[in-house]
Amino acid sequence: MIFDDTFGWYKLRCSFFTSVCRRVLNDYFNRHGFVERDVGPIGEILYKKLDLFIEVGYVPESSPNYSLTIILGTDKAKLNKTDLSNGVPFWYLLPNGFFGEKPERFEFESETDLNALLSRTKNDVLENYMKPLWNDRALLKKTIIKFQADMK
Protein backbone atom coordinates (compact mmCIF):
# COMPACT_ATOMS: atom_id res chain seq x y z
CA MET A 1 0.00 0.00 0.00
CA ILE A 2 1.28 3.45 -0.90
CA PHE A 3 0.62 6.22 1.60
CA ASP A 4 -0.15 9.77 0.59
CA ASP A 5 2.09 12.17 2.50
CA THR A 6 -0.53 14.91 2.50
CA PHE A 7 -3.20 13.21 4.64
CA GLY A 8 -3.42 11.77 8.15
CA TRP A 9 -0.77 10.77 10.67
CA TYR A 10 1.64 9.73 7.93
CA LYS A 11 2.57 13.35 7.25
CA LEU A 12 3.88 13.52 10.84
CA ARG A 13 6.60 10.94 10.30
CA CYS A 14 10.22 11.85 10.86
CA SER A 15 12.10 11.51 7.55
CA PHE A 16 15.58 11.23 9.11
CA PHE A 17 14.80 8.85 11.98
CA THR A 18 15.85 5.54 10.39
CA SER A 19 19.14 6.77 8.95
CA VAL A 20 20.23 8.42 12.21
CA CYS A 21 19.27 5.34 14.25
CA ARG A 22 21.29 3.10 11.97
CA ARG A 23 24.29 5.41 12.16
CA VAL A 24 24.23 5.66 15.97
CA LEU A 25 22.86 2.28 17.09
CA ASN A 26 23.52 -0.47 14.53
CA ASP A 27 27.15 -1.14 15.52
CA TYR A 28 26.22 -1.11 19.20
CA PHE A 29 23.38 -3.59 18.76
CA ASN A 30 25.46 -5.77 16.42
CA ARG A 31 28.20 -6.04 19.06
CA HIS A 32 25.54 -7.39 21.43
CA GLY A 33 24.17 -9.91 18.94
CA PHE A 34 21.13 -7.95 17.71
CA VAL A 35 20.53 -7.51 13.99
CA GLU A 36 18.15 -5.19 12.19
CA ARG A 37 15.13 -7.25 11.25
CA ASP A 38 12.51 -4.81 10.01
CA VAL A 39 11.65 -1.15 9.49
CA GLY A 40 8.09 -0.04 10.25
CA PRO A 41 5.88 2.43 8.40
CA ILE A 42 7.14 5.50 10.29
CA GLY A 43 10.79 4.41 10.20
CA GLU A 44 10.97 2.61 13.55
CA ILE A 45 13.57 -0.18 13.57
CA LEU A 46 13.11 -3.68 14.96
CA TYR A 47 16.30 -5.39 16.15
CA LYS A 48 16.24 -9.12 16.94
CA LYS A 49 18.48 -11.53 18.83
CA LEU A 50 17.14 -15.08 19.12
CA ASP A 51 13.85 -14.66 21.00
CA LEU A 52 14.50 -11.04 22.02
CA PHE A 53 13.53 -7.83 20.27
CA ILE A 54 14.32 -4.17 20.69
CA GLU A 55 12.14 -1.70 18.86
CA VAL A 56 13.47 1.84 18.53
CA GLY A 57 10.89 4.35 17.39
CA TYR A 58 9.15 7.59 18.19
CA VAL A 59 5.68 9.03 18.69
CA PRO A 60 4.69 10.75 15.42
CA GLU A 61 1.80 12.59 17.08
CA SER A 62 4.33 14.48 19.22
CA SER A 63 5.69 16.26 16.11
CA PRO A 64 7.65 18.47 15.81
CA ASN A 65 9.22 17.57 19.19
CA TYR A 66 9.20 13.81 18.67
CA SER A 67 9.33 11.55 21.74
CA LEU A 68 11.73 8.61 21.55
CA THR A 69 10.37 5.12 22.26
CA ILE A 70 12.39 1.97 22.96
CA ILE A 71 10.79 -1.35 23.84
CA LEU A 72 12.67 -4.48 24.93
CA GLY A 73 10.94 -7.83 25.04
CA THR A 74 10.60 -11.46 24.14
CA ASP A 75 9.07 -12.32 20.86
CA LYS A 76 9.05 -16.04 20.15
CA ALA A 77 5.77 -16.12 18.23
CA LYS A 78 5.87 -12.74 16.46
CA LEU A 79 8.62 -11.83 14.07
CA ASN A 80 7.48 -8.51 12.66
CA LYS A 81 4.96 -7.04 15.08
CA THR A 82 5.80 -5.88 18.55
CA ASP A 83 3.60 -4.48 21.27
CA LEU A 84 3.67 -3.98 25.00
CA SER A 85 2.05 -7.36 25.77
CA ASN A 86 5.47 -8.98 25.53
CA GLY A 87 7.79 -6.05 26.14
CA VAL A 88 8.71 -3.23 28.46
CA PRO A 89 9.36 0.42 27.48
CA PHE A 90 12.63 2.04 28.48
CA TRP A 91 11.01 4.72 30.63
CA TYR A 92 9.59 2.05 32.95
CA LEU A 93 13.12 0.84 33.74
CA LEU A 94 14.48 4.23 34.77
CA PRO A 95 14.77 5.04 38.46
CA ASN A 96 12.59 7.71 40.06
CA GLY A 97 14.07 11.12 39.47
CA PHE A 98 15.93 10.07 36.30
CA PHE A 99 14.08 12.69 34.28
CA GLY A 100 14.49 15.28 37.02
CA GLU A 101 12.92 18.55 36.04
CA LYS A 102 13.30 17.80 32.32
CA PRO A 103 11.06 15.04 30.96
CA GLU A 104 11.74 16.47 27.51
CA ARG A 105 15.27 15.07 27.63
CA PHE A 106 14.00 12.19 25.43
CA GLU A 107 12.57 14.47 22.74
CA PHE A 108 14.15 15.53 19.45
CA GLU A 109 13.31 17.89 16.62
CA SER A 110 16.30 17.73 14.29
CA GLU A 111 18.90 15.23 13.09
CA THR A 112 21.45 16.83 15.41
CA ASP A 113 19.06 16.49 18.37
CA LEU A 114 18.33 12.84 17.54
CA ASN A 115 22.01 11.99 17.10
CA ALA A 116 22.84 13.46 20.52
CA LEU A 117 19.78 11.86 22.13
CA LEU A 118 20.55 8.37 20.79
CA SER A 119 24.20 8.67 21.83
CA ARG A 120 23.18 9.64 25.39
CA THR A 121 20.47 6.96 25.47
CA LYS A 122 22.92 4.30 24.31
CA ASN A 123 25.32 5.16 27.13
CA ASP A 124 22.84 5.98 29.90
CA VAL A 125 19.78 3.81 29.25
CA LEU A 126 20.73 0.87 27.06
CA GLU A 127 23.95 0.04 28.90
CA ASN A 128 22.68 0.59 32.44
CA TYR A 129 19.02 -0.44 32.37
CA MET A 130 18.25 -2.55 29.28
CA LYS A 131 21.42 -4.58 28.77
CA PRO A 132 21.13 -6.31 32.17
CA LEU A 133 17.63 -7.44 31.16
CA TRP A 134 18.53 -8.76 27.71
CA ASN A 135 21.37 -10.69 29.37
CA ASP A 136 19.01 -12.24 31.95
CA ARG A 137 15.82 -13.55 30.33
CA ALA A 138 14.27 -14.58 33.66
CA LEU A 139 14.69 -11.05 34.98
CA LEU A 140 13.33 -9.62 31.72
CA LYS A 141 10.22 -11.80 31.90
CA LYS A 142 9.67 -10.81 35.55
CA THR A 143 10.02 -7.15 34.62
CA ILE A 144 7.51 -7.50 31.75
CA ILE A 145 4.99 -9.17 34.08
CA LYS A 146 5.48 -6.41 36.67
CA PHE A 147 5.07 -3.72 34.00
CA GLN A 148 1.84 -5.32 32.77
CA ALA A 149 0.48 -5.52 36.32
CA ASP A 150 1.43 -1.90 37.06
CA MET A 151 -0.33 -0.68 33.90
CA LYS A 152 -3.65 -2.32 34.80
pLDDT in tens, 64-94: 899 999 999 997 545 444 456 789 999 999 9
| Reported pTM | 0.87
Average pLDDT, stretch 49-75? 92
CB 152 within 8 A of CB 84: no
Q: How far is the C-alpha of 122 from the C-alpha of 36, rounded, in Å?
A: 16
Name the pLDDT band for 142 (thresholds 50, 70, 90). Answer: very high
CB 82 within 8 A of CB 46: yes
Measuring CA to CA, which residue among 98, 104, 83, 102 is closest to residue 147? 83
